[in-house]
């Protein structure tokens, strides 16, 4: 147990909102417990302190971790930080994916107990599937549920013409991963994870991929590392065994589209609500496209002072989304080996 002086110091630093002093006394309490043979309690206290430090909010400028929780200097170009509030319940998911995510969260919540037994919780995840199916949202949900920051890697800043630089920048990101617990999200990961990269020189992008493989393999941090891609088929095979879990996202089924429709429309649902017919109209659209179509029709209703959307307006919005997505697919720019682009 903490002695009387330590207890007073803890309460005082709490009242004075002096986090730095609070953590320092708490570490002293942990050290004292370790000394008297209460190793498990000491470790639990240390884990709690580490987790609390990693939760430094953007508004908090007193914590010592702020410079990294808000990346500065070169790192600020490479990482953007957010503190999402998303929850798993906000997502519509296949049962298998939901189960995978629940298991990851559970292992993360018990990570100190798992580590005590020399094991490590799942935290290196590869998310694969078509656009708009929830890969980015998953990164936000994991950060939101765990109360840790979400750091998104800016691939445009990471991948430069000078591939030697790219490997050095990757090193900086992995240093940050080790120093500040968070969810680190590499979107469009195929840009480095495939052999047909955006680089001018295939040999160089291979070198970057090799650096990534080494860094992710030796990473022992407390952070979660997420890589997402729409093009799993072009990923280098060597990557797969570096991840603890591969999570596969799909376009929504009828019942999943219906669930999203109901949730997103909320009190704006048309009356009567031909849910089945509307779901058929949404067939083939991604979650992101359905969400967008619903939002468009709600905006339309709001601008006309109506408190419900019309079914016809929703159908029109679905058709527009479908046309837009066909147009975009036709214009898609595909990177080739030589670094130039082909339509
Ligand atoms: N499974 C889902 N459940 C509920 N909403 C979803 C789901 N997937 C996507 N959305 C909605 O669509 C938006 C965009 O989805 P998100 O960015 O997560 O897709 P993505 O798979 O990362 O796409 P991309 O591959 O294009 O980056 C989300 O912010 C959310 O509003």
Residue 139: CB within 6 Å of ligand 1? no
- Measured between alpha carbons, how far is 205 from 196 in angstroms, rounded to an integer? 8
Nearest residue to 227 (alpha-carbon basis) of 185, 194, 195: 185
Q: Does residue 215 carry a pLDDT above 50?
A: yes
Task: Give me the pLDDT at residue 320, please.
Answer: 92
Report the Cα–Cα distance between both ends of the chain, in Å, rounded: 68
Coil/strand/helix, residue 135: helix
Shortest-distance Cα residue to atom 13 of ligand 1: 288
Residue 88: CB within 6 Å of ligand 1? no
Residue 291: CB within 6 Å of ligand 1? yes
Shortest-distance Cα residue to atom 16 of ligand 1: 134
Question: At the top level of CATH, which class does the domain 254-331 belong to?
Answer: mainly alpha
Residue 91: CB within 6 Å of ligand 1? yes
ipTM value, please give it.
Answer: 0.98
Residue 193: CB within 6 Å of ligand 1? no
66-248: CATH superfamily: P-loop containing nucleotide triphosphate hydrolases (3.40.50.300)
Task: Give me the pLDDT at residue 54, please.
Answer: 58
Q: Does residue 60 carry a pLDDT above 80?
A: no
Start-end of CATH 3.40.50.300 domains in the chain: 66-248
Q: Does residue 278 carry a pLDDT above 80?
A: yes
Q: How many residues does the chain have?
A: 343
Which range, of 72-76, 77-81, 167-171, 264-268, averages the lowest pLDDT? 72-76
Q: Angle at Cα 198 formed by Cα 197 and Cα 203, nearest 5°?
A: 55
Closest approach atom of ligand 1 to CA 92: 3
Task: Give me the pLDDT at residue 67, please.
Answer: 42
Q: Angle at Cα 198 formed by Cα 225 and Cα 122, nearest 5°?
A: 15
Structure tokens at 59: 């508004």
CA dist 183 → 69, 83, 187, 228, 248 (Å): 11, 10, 12, 13, 19
Closest approach atom of ligand 1 to CA 252: 1
Shortest-distance Cα residue to atom 9 of ligand 1: 134
> pLDDT by residue (tens digit) across 140-178?
999 999 999 999 999 888 887 666 788 889 999 999 999
Start-end of CATH 1.10.8.60 domains in the chain: 254-331
- Measured between alpha carbons, how far is 239 from 56 in angstroms, rounded to an integer? 32
Q: Does residue 63 carry a pLDDT above 60?
A: no
């Amino acid at each position: 147990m903490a002695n009387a002086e330590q207890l007073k110091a803890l309460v005082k630093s709490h009242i004075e909102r002096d986090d730095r002093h609070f953590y320092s006394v708490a570490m002293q309490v942990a050290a004292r417990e370790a000394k008297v043979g209460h190793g498990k309690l000491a470790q639990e206290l240390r884990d709690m302190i580490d987790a609390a430090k990693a939760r430094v909010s953007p508004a908090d400028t007193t914590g010592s971790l702020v410079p990294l929780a808000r990346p500065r200097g070169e790192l600020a170009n490479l990482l953007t930080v957010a503190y999402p509030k998303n929850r798993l319940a906000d997502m519509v998911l296949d049962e298998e994916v939901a189960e995978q995510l629940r298991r990851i969260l559970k292992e993360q919540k018990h990570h100190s107990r798992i580590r005590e037994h020399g094991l490590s919780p799942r935290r290196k995840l590869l998310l694969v599937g078509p656009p708009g199916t929830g890969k980015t949202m998953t990164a936000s949900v994991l950060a939101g549920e765990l109360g840790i920051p979400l750091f998104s890697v800016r691939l445009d800043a990471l991948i430069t013409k000078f591939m030697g630089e790219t490997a050095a920048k990757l090193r900086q990101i992995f240093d940050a991963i080790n120093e500040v617990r968070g969810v680190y999200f590499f979107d469009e990961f195929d840009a480095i994870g495939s052999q047909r990269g955006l680089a001018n020189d295939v040999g160089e992008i291979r070198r970057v991929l090799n650096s990534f493989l080494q860094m992710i393999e030796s990473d022992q941090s407390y952070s979660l590392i997420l890589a997402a891609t729409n093009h799993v088929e072009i990923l280098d095979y060597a990557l797969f065994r570096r991840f603890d879990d591969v999570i596969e996202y799909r376009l929504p089924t009828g019942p999943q589209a219906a669930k999203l429709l109901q949730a997103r429309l909320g009190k704006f649902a048309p009356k009567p609500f031909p849910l089945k017919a509307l779901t058929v109209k949404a067939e083939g659209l991604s979650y992101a496209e359905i969400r967008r179509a619903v939002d468009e029709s709600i905006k339309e209703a709001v601008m006309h002072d109506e408190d419900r959307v019309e079914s016809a307006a929703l159908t029109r919005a679905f058709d527009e989304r479908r046309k837009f997505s066909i147009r975009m697919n036709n214009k898609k720019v595909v990177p080739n080996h030589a670094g130039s682009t082909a339509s």
